[in-house]
Amino acid sequence: MNAPIRIPVTNLQHHVFYVTDLERSKAFYINLFDLQFSALNHPDSSAAMRLSQQEMHFFSFGFHHHDICLVKHHKLTMDNNSMLHFALAVRGAKAFDDVRRRAQRMGLPIREGRMLASARPGARAFCVQDPDKHWLEIIEEVTQ
């Protein structure tokens, strides 16, 4: 039997998640990360979005057309009392410290360290929650 071929994935291109208030979440992510608003809905999905009463806002860190997409679903109720989260690696100590300062200025409670104790040790990390209680894990990616 042949060994499986490894697919050389280098990064996750974007993340899509539900929010209860698009304007509040938009302000949160723009203030914390300097995200750029890139699109409202999407031409390929606009009709389906209208039918399901959903709305999408796309944001970019400057890498792709959209790195994060916030979706408002008018019939969905949120339950984020779990360890579900996403992690963002920021390159270098300066960027890590800047995001941490912004989180402090925004009055966000900061949870020190990695989300899971078993995660890779060594890198500096902290966690915050967005307005919908999605956990964000911010990890310093040390540059060589």
3-state secondary structure of 133: coil
Q: Are 16 and 71 contacting, i.e. CB atoms less than 8 angstroms apart?
A: yes
pLDDT for the residue 24: 92
Q: In what order do the strands lie in the sheet with 54-60?
A: 15-19, 68-73, 54-60, 36-40
C-alpha distances out from residue 113 to 34, 76, 119, 136, 143, Å = 23, 31, 10, 12, 19
Tell me: pLDDT of 76 over 80: no
Structural domains of the chain, ranges and CATH numbers in brackets: 15-73 (no CATH), 85-141 (3.10.180.10)
Q: Are 128 and 136 in contact (CB under 8 A)?
A: yes
The whole-model pTM stands at 0.77
Higher pLDDT, 70 or 79: 70
Report residue 82 as tokens: 């779990």
Q: What percent of the chain has pLDDT over 90?
A: 24
Which residues, 6 or more positions from 61, have their beta carbon under 8 angstroms from its beta carbon?
A: 33, 35, 36, 67, 68
Q: For residue 32, how many C-alpha atoms fall within 13 Å in the half-sphere facing its CB?
A: 23
DSSP, res 7: P
Q: By C-alpha distance, which of 78, 101, 93 is closest to 124?
A: 93
Give me Rg for the CA atoms of the chain.
17
Give the pLDDT of residue 101. 94
Nearest of 63, 66, 62 to residue 10 by alpha carbon: 63
Return the structure tokens found at 5: 């071929």
